[in-house]
Amino acid sequence: MTQTDAHSSEAQLDAATVPSGSTSTTPKPRRIAVLTSGGDAPGMNAAIRAVVRAATFHGVEVVGVRRGFQGLHQGDMRLLGPRDVANIIQRGGTVLLTARSHTWRTPEGRTLGAGHLKAWGVDGLIVIGGDGSFHGAHYLQQEHGIPVIGVPGTIDNDLYGTDHTIGYFTAVETALDAVDKLRDTAASHERIFVVEVMGRHAGHIALDVAVAGGAEEVFLPEEEHPAEHIAQVVRDSAAKGKASSILIVAEGYPGGGEAVARAVEAQTGLDTRLTILGHIQRGGSPVSSDRVLASRLGEAAVLALIEGKSDIMVGRGNGGMTFTPLHETWEKSKDVSRDLYRCAKTLSV
Amino acid sequence: MTQTDAHSSEAQLDAATVPSGSTSTTPKPRRIAVLTSGGDAPGMNAAIRAVVRAATFHGVEVVGVRRGFQGLHQGDMRLLGPRDVANIIQRGGTVLLTARSHTWRTPEGRTLGAGHLKAWGVDGLIVIGGDGSFHGAHYLQQEHGIPVIGVPGTIDNDLYGTDHTIGYFTAVETALDAVDKLRDTAASHERIFVVEVMGRHAGHIALDVAVAGGAEEVFLPEEEHPAEHIAQVVRDSAAKGKASSILIVAEGYPGGGEAVARAVEAQTGLDTRLTILGHIQRGGSPVSSDRVLASRLGEAAVLALIEGKSDIMVGRGNGGMTFTPLHETWEKSKDVSRDLYRCAKTLSV
Amino acid sequence: MTQTDAHSSEAQLDAATVPSGSTSTTPKPRRIAVLTSGGDAPGMNAAIRAVVRAATFHGVEVVGVRRGFQGLHQGDMRLLGPRDVANIIQRGGTVLLTARSHTWRTPEGRTLGAGHLKAWGVDGLIVIGGDGSFHGAHYLQQEHGIPVIGVPGTIDNDLYGTDHTIGYFTAVETALDAVDKLRDTAASHERIFVVEVMGRHAGHIALDVAVAGGAEEVFLPEEEHPAEHIAQVVRDSAAKGKASSILIVAEGYPGGGEAVARAVEAQTGLDTRLTILGHIQRGGSPVSSDRVLASRLGEAAVLALIEGKSDIMVGRGNGGMTFTPLHETWEKSKDVSRDLYRCAKTLSV
Amino acid sequence: MTQTDAHSSEAQLDAATVPSGSTSTTPKPRRIAVLTSGGDAPGMNAAIRAVVRAATFHGVEVVGVRRGFQGLHQGDMRLLGPRDVANIIQRGGTVLLTARSHTWRTPEGRTLGAGHLKAWGVDGLIVIGGDGSFHGAHYLQQEHGIPVIGVPGTIDNDLYGTDHTIGYFTAVETALDAVDKLRDTAASHERIFVVEVMGRHAGHIALDVAVAGGAEEVFLPEEEHPAEHIAQVVRDSAAKGKASSILIVAEGYPGGGEAVARAVEAQTGLDTRLTILGHIQRGGSPVSSDRVLASRLGEAAVLALIEGKSDIMVGRGNGGMTFTPLHETWEKSKDVSRDLYRCAKTLSV
């Protein structure tokens, strides 16, 4: 095991394992902009703070854009100093607000946004969000030549190019807290609990919650099980002497938690309760892992712009920084760990 | 303001404000039983511990009955010493388990249970639960002359005769935590969130959560609002400059959270999200107020049996102990504080 | 048990149990000020919000004074509208800041402060803090005729005239969380843990934490125990089969936690660990009970000013509002519940 | 970035990056033992559960040894089935208890322990603990030929050969929670807070807490700063417009938190408060990352024994499993990330 933790040194830039973005010889930016886009995620504020503070440290000014690309389109922006981001590292949500923008999908909308950036003298843009948001950034770079850097901020952890995304750890913790509470009642009552957690396209949250929550079974978006199998899980569980069962279902599993709950009730007749956690998984004060990740990535994004990189996402992998071309983040996918999935099965014995 | 905190002294038993149960001159019990019944509530373990420890302190043995009245009917019981209840005060659920019993509803079932109690030499029974469970205890006393004491354990806080029930404070805290998390996202996204909390017959949880969570409106089981009023709340809120609204709905409001969410969407077209917290409100480590209440009431129940009381529920009111005939707990009702309801309205200005 | 929850009605003002403040016939105030003073307490923000919102509801403007009496002395104040206090109900600390003021202790200092209030057209002042802060308010009223209302905000709960003070519930919860964590280690390691909690003059926090944490013994400021007694507690505990002991010590116990820890080690030779929680008990998001109390009392303070009351503290007692002359809050004292103290002893059997 | 998550496959065993332990061709064990040793850490229960469940899955019996090597020496052990470890994944501490053993340091003591293992028919031992505990395991293997596998369980994260140790994430979270609470008060009061966190030999916890807590400075065991530098940090912080400063000090920094607090007060005269978190960092329900890590490593330890490995520690690194000879865990050291240290400095601008 090697422990490479060095940040974006020249040496590392040459390293084969680091997919480098396009590195130009343009002069260091004097003013950059930052926005948050898409669904909010805990730790976005920590990332904003890191961008503003790191830029200040390196003599670069920062403009904060409100409401994501919609605000960029409307020119809703203002200068941010290091004190403006004081006392936000521990807050959920995003002080820059976020929105889904329809106008940004048109070249005209993006031209307007690029105009605002140029009017403000902005030399580069940092976008904190998911792959949808990176699409928007990529077009801005392609069409208007504005350097863009993506910072992975989404609770789903489904972004190729980074081990973890900002917000993921907190979302797992929130869902796990709910499972722990249900376990108290499940153990007291001898019931079946079905818990639907977020994850439309990927089962990362569901799998971690299932392992950490000691669930009897986990249902991922990747595969559908026949109703009979679902019932068998519950029956096997009872046969092993377990008084109750907790089943974790990713939002993206066919039919969601409701389908699983219905299958259990129909097949076993047992008292089954469904909990849909929903948006509470997006909120809350970020846990330490999300704050540390956001601090590292926010700084890395500023350094990347200073070094002339563009059209890439900064991330963490193999104990070091990673730089992934933005287009790969939506073209490639990051699977859940099959190894952890197997571990979950083994430990529910 | 007087601060009467004295416990069940002779003086207090004479006090006009304390509805005393029947007090006989039977000798001090040598062995009592304890069970938990109905929906589990955080703090039940603290109450069990208090019963066992207080009884031991006063030289009385304790038999723990598993699975509530169902276990009593089946004779599923064993002696509990003070070390058996070590390290459970902080745990959610109930180590004695709980169940809903159908057999208990028949005289035959109760005769079987009474037989088990007598076979074990039990002189009195403490029932931790809600008014349904108190019904079962009342019949046992009526039909078989076994002294019974009720301890209010239910998250709903809807029991006449006590300011608060064991589990209520924790349930409110759990729901509030969810509302706080949604607020992060609501503030970042400019959305409407509808949160359904527990409370089939009473809005106690909903009202406290609404006030503590700074919600824009609360919907109690007691009154139905026309869809138009619901929409007006959201429009007024927007007109006041609020970027988002959080609406708290008690489970027992006609149509529940779904009806409110549908009304908002239909009338305003705004992006509305519904969260149904469900059974997570029953679990979790009890907060201090529930543990202190459970400790006081568990001890009080033992003292009540020793003093020869029966067919009453112990509770807290006006800063002191209260003793309420069991039948009043289901014949009378405890309303939500109209004063707090008004306060909620005022502060959502 | 009677459930009187009616708010400050004329009827209640006549009630013998409610110490009424001086009620004048002066016209309704048009502008009032609010400040937080002394040690900060969780829930102060909820109280500020309630003052601003309730005043707005009743057509009264609010001026916020920063840094307590020091800011009043310096004229550091500004108008607060209902949106200025949005999204603060869940935050620890106080957005108005607090400070200890030396200048306020002189008549000259107070004259300056009164001048600022008059210049701003302020007709009444609400002071959120402890009895030291109420002293400052009382003098302002006496010397300059400005109506003042006190709102009890201190984690220590040692104010005569109210069952609980804002911040108390959260401080207990924070200390309890620490005790729960130590119990994990104590149970695994067979050690003695001494935990010092806040409470210089009163043992309210210590006692609640001891009961809720299932501690083996609690040491209150009110009484000193010989070292031998302390050691005996630990030996008795071991003799009962307890693998470990947790001892809770109020800051104000002679010698504090260190004295107790030293006594245990000297007398028993057992591995003893001391934890001093300190200021973390002042922070954190307020629990629901503190937010509800703060919301009620903030509103009550505004209503009291509108009704022409002055020189009193609003509080809660016997399930209703209470009004206590400010001078009584420092002349009289509120003892810990002897009943709960006895309960703690009984349950540590 | 490559995502190697495959577990101990044949292919991986050959990989150059995986330091393999000695792999013998002895037959699969039929019964193994597990113990926890040294300071307890949150997640140890999850690791015990994983060992028992994974072994059961693979047809291997498990004997649990109580009180670490002391219990092994005394023969305090019993069989554990999968239901014996139900409902413990979420609990702090260790159900097997832990102790520091003096007798184990002598060959005679170890011979006695080895005898007990052989009498119970145990073919291999899994030790969950730190490098001190691994020493004990190593000697057992050397002297008595019993296969041993180490699982890294310590909050300090100072073990060479794994990215993280079980308990580390929870300890950081607990300390961070305290810092967040102090921040509320610091922001309200304009004070200096010094927080001493655990870490006698390594500053891992201190550094993560400093970054995630947004601290103004962090003091690691690795380097001592002159009192003047410490004061300068506080003065610089004030000059930047920060109302308050939070300084994080690792337990192993020369003089600890007290030395730093004293230096600040002496040099600046500012109101400075010291909080020593102590053993609360060892307790609490483990966060998800610790539970997932413990689940993976517990299973990996069982598989390692089955595959005939011995005298190694299982760990995680570069996104996959790692196997490190036990002696390397105390001969080599794992430094804090200099990169993260630099990041902390940059973001405190």
Q: Give the DSSP per-residue string, D216-263.
A: SEEE-TT----HHHHHHHHHHHHHTT-S-EEEEEETTSTTHHHHHHHH
End-to-end alpha-carbon separation of chain D, Å?
31
CA distance D153 to D39: 9
Q: What backbone torsions phi and psi does residue A18 show, to the nearest 5 degrees?
A: -105, 105
Q: What backbone torsions phi and psi does residue B243 show, to the nearest 5 degrees?
A: -75, -20
Both tokens of D81, joined, read 């089935």
Q: Does D45 share its domain with D194? A: no
Task: Say how many residues make up chain B.
Answer: 349
Candidate list C156, C208, C290, C311, residue with the active-site label? C156
Q: Do C180 and B285 touch (CB under 8 A)?
A: yes
Element (H, E) at D114: helix D107-119
Q: Is residue B127 part of a domain?
A: yes
* Partners of C275 in beta bridges: C195
Q: Do C319 and B163 touch (CB under 8 A)?
A: yes
Q: Which of B209, B296, B347 has its CB closest to that of C299?
A: B347
Q: Does C184 share its domain with C228? A: yes
How far C35 CA lies from chain B's nearest CA (Å)? 19
Q: Let me know: does B121 contact B30? Beta carbons within 8 Å.
A: yes
CA distance C33 to A291: 38
Torsion, Cα C196 C200 C204 C208, to 10 degrees, reads -10
Q: Do C277 and D273 touch (CB under 8 A)?
A: no
CA distance D313 to D297: 9
From D242, D263, D282, the end of a domain falls on D282
Active site (catalytic) residues of D: 156
Helix, coil or strand: residue A271: coil
Which chains are adjacent to chain C, needing at least 3 Cβ pairs under 8 Å? B, D
Q: Which of D97, D185, D282 has its CB closest to that of C40?
A: D185
Q: Which of D182, D288, D321 to substitute to test the interface with A, most A CBs within 10 Å?
A: D288
Q: Do D185 and C99 touch (CB under 8 A)?
A: no
pLDDT tens string B130-144: 999 999 999 999 999
Q: Does B142 share its domain with B15? A: yes
What's the per-residue H, E or C state across chain C? CCCCCCCCCHHHHHCCCCCCCEECCCCCCCEEEEEECCCCCCCHHHHHHHHHHHHHHCCCEEEEECCHHHHHHHCCEEEECHHHHCCCCCCCCCCCCCCCCCHHHCHHHHHHHHHHHHHCCCCEEEEEECHHHHHHHHHHHHHHCCCEEEEEECCCCCCCCCCCCECHHHHHHHHHHHHHHHHHHHHHHCCEEEEEECCCCCCHHHHHHHHHHCCCEEECCCCCCCHHHHHHHHHHHHHCCCCCEEEEEECCCCCHHHHHHHHHHHHHCCCEEEEECHHHHHCCCCCHHHHHHHHHHHHHHHHHHHCCEECEEEEEECCEEEEEEHHHHHHCCCCCCHHHHHHHHHHCC
How far A223 CA lies from chain B's nearest CA (Å)? 26
D236: CATH? 3.40.50.460
Q: Quick one: which of B121, B67, B76 has its CA closest to B95?
A: B67
Q: What backbone torsions phi and psi does residue D271 show, to the nearest 5 degrees?
A: -65, 110
A/D interface, count of CB pairs below 8 Å: 173
Helix, coil or strand: residue B15: coil
Nearest CA in chain A to B96: A188
pLDDT tens string A99-130: 877 778 899 999 999 999 999 999 999 999 99
Q: Which of A93, A188, A277 has its CB closest to that of B185?
A: A93
Q: Is residue D345 part of a domain?
A: no
B/C interface, count of CB pairs below 8 Å: 170
How far A309 CA lies from chain B's nearest CA (Å)? 30
Cβ-proximal residues to B13 (8 Å cutoff; 6+ apart), any chain:
B20, B23, B307
C296: CATH? 3.40.50.450
DSSP strand pairing (A272-276 vs A192-197) = parallel
Q: Let me know: does D8 contact D309? Beta carbons within 8 Å.
A: no
Nearest CA in chain D to A184: D87
ipTM of the assembly? 0.91
Q: Does D141 share its domain with D176? A: no
pLDDT above 50 (res A9) = no
Q: Quick one: which of D114, D118, D122, D124 has its CA closest to D147?
A: D124
Element (H, E) at D152: strand D148-152
Q: Do A292 and D337 touch (CB under 8 A)?
A: no
Q: Which of B53, B161, B163 has its CB closest to that of C347?
A: B53
Q: Which domain holds residue A254?
A: 168-282
* Partners of C128 in beta bridges: C36, C151
Comparison of pLDDT for B20 and A183, the residue scoring more: A183
Instruction: Consult the annotation and say whether A198 binds a ligand.
Output: yes
Q: Does A82 share its domain with A215? A: no
Provide residues of D within 8 Å CB-CB of chain C. Answer: 36, 40, 42, 91-94, 97-99, 174, 178, 180-185, 187-190, 193, 273-284
Quote the percentage of chain B above a pLDDT of 70: 93
Region at B169 (left for phi over 0; alpha for psi -120 to 50; beta for the rest): alpha
On the 0-12 / 13-18 / 19+ scale of CB atoms within 10 A, B228 is exposed
CA distance C52 to C41: 18
Q: Do D188 and C278 touch (CB under 8 A)?
A: no
CA distance A338 to D320: 12
Q: Is residue A109 part of a domain?
A: yes
On the 0-12 / 13-18 / 19+ scale of CB atoms within 10 A, A102 is exposed
pLDDT value, residue D23: 53
Instruction: Consult the annotation and say whether A101 binds a ligand.
Output: yes
Q: Is residue D337 part of a domain?
A: no
Q: What is the pLDDT along chain C (349 residues), one digit of tens a residue?
A: 333 333 333 333 233 333 344 555 567 899 999 999 999 999 999 999 999 999 999 999 999 999 999 999 999 999 999 999 999 999 999 999 998 777 788 999 999 999 999 999 999 999 999 999 999 999 999 999 999 999 999 999 999 999 999 999 999 999 999 999 998 888 777 789 999 999 999 899 999 999 999 999 999 998 888 888 888 888 888 888 777 889 999 999 999 999 999 999 998 888 889 998 989 999 999 999 999 999 999 999 999 999 999 999 999 998 899 999 999 999 999 999 999 999 999 999 8
Tokens 């994983």 — which residue?
A: D50
Tokens 């009704």 — which residue?
A: C307
pLDDT tens string B45-77: 999 999 999 999 999 999 999 999 999 999 999
Q: Dump the DSSP string for A194-234.
A: EEEES-SS--HHHHHHHHHHT-SEEE-TT----HHHHHHHH
Distances (CA, A) of B165 to B128, B281, C90, C208: 10, 14, 25, 18
Q: What is the mean pLDDT of chain B?
A: 90
Both tokens of D275, joined, read 């909080």
Q: Does C253 share its domain with C142? A: no
pLDDT above 80 (res A18) = no
CA distance C309 to C26: 10
Q: Does D304 share its domain with D163? A: yes
Q: Do C181 and D92 touch (CB under 8 A)?
A: yes
Q: Does A214 share its domain with A162? A: no
Candidate list B156, B208, B290, B311, residue with the active-site label? B156
pLDDT value, residue B228: 87
Q: Do C280 and D99 touch (CB under 8 A)?
A: no
How far A319 CA lies from chain D's nearest CA (Å)? 6
Average pLDDT over residues A170-183: 96
CA distance B162 to B18: 11
Q: Does A197 share its domain with A309? A: no
CA distance B292 to D277: 25
How far C293 CA lies from chain D's nearest CA (Å)? 20
Q: Do D349 and A57 touch (CB under 8 A)?
A: yes
Q: Does B162 share its domain with B264? A: no
Q: Is A158 among the catalytic positions?
A: no
Q: Is residue A54 part of a domain?
A: yes
pLDDT above 80 (res B16) = no
* Partners of D249 in beta bridges: D196, D219
CA distance A263 to D295: 29
Nearest CA in chain B to A171: B181
Residue B60 DSSP code: -
Comparison of pLDDT for A278 and B329, the residue scoring more: B329
CA distance A323 to A311: 10
Q: Does A200 share its domain with A157? A: no
Distance of alpha carbon A335 from the chain centroid = 14
Helix, coil or strand: residue B58: coil
Q: Is residue A84 part of a domain?
A: yes
CA distance A234 to A257: 15
Q: Is residue D341 part of a domain?
A: no
Q: Could you tell me the sign of the dihedral formed by the alpha carbons of D73, D78, D83, D87, in that order?
A: negative
DSSP strand pairing (D124-129 vs B272-276) = unpaired
Q: Does C49 share its domain with C125? A: yes
How far A194 CA lies from chain B's nearest CA (Å)? 11
How many structural domains are present in chain C?
Answer: 2
Which chains are adjacent to chain B, needing at least 3 Cβ pairs under 8 Å? A, C
C240 interaction partners in chain B (CB closer than 8 Å): 82-83
C15 interaction partners in chain B (CB closer than 8 Å): none
Residue A4 DSSP code: -
On the 0-12 / 13-18 / 19+ scale of CB atoms within 10 A, D180 is buried
Q: Is residue D349 part of a domain?
A: no
Average pLDDT over residues A322-327: 98
Both tokens of C177, joined, read 């969380």
CA distance D171 to D154: 10
pLDDT value, residue A26: 65
Q: Let me know: does A234 contact A268? Beta carbons within 8 Å.
A: yes
A/B interface, count of CB pairs below 8 Å: 103
Q: Which of C182, C278, C284 has its CB closest to that of D184?
A: C284
pLDDT tens string B264-301: 999 888 888 999 898 999 999 999 999 999 999 999 99
D40 interaction partners in chain C (CB closer than 8 Å): 184-185, 188-189
D302 interaction partners in chain A (CB closer than 8 Å): none
Q: What is the pLDDT along chain D (349 residues), one digit of tens a residue?
A: 333 333 333 333 233 333 344 555 567 899 999 999 999 999 999 999 999 999 999 999 999 999 999 999 999 999 999 999 999 999 999 999 998 777 788 999 999 999 999 999 999 999 999 999 999 999 999 999 999 999 999 999 999 999 999 999 999 999 999 999 998 888 777 789 999 999 999 899 999 999 999 999 999 998 888 888 888 888 888 888 777 889 999 999 999 999 999 999 998 888 889 998 989 999 999 999 999 999 999 999 999 999 999 999 999 998 899 999 999 999 999 999 999 999 999 999 8
Helix, coil or strand: residue B284: coil
pLDDT above 70 (res A37) = yes
Residue B285 DSSP code: P
CA distance C193 to C183: 9
Q: Do D292 and A241 touch (CB under 8 A)?
A: no
How far B106 CA lies from chain C's nearest CA (Å)? 34
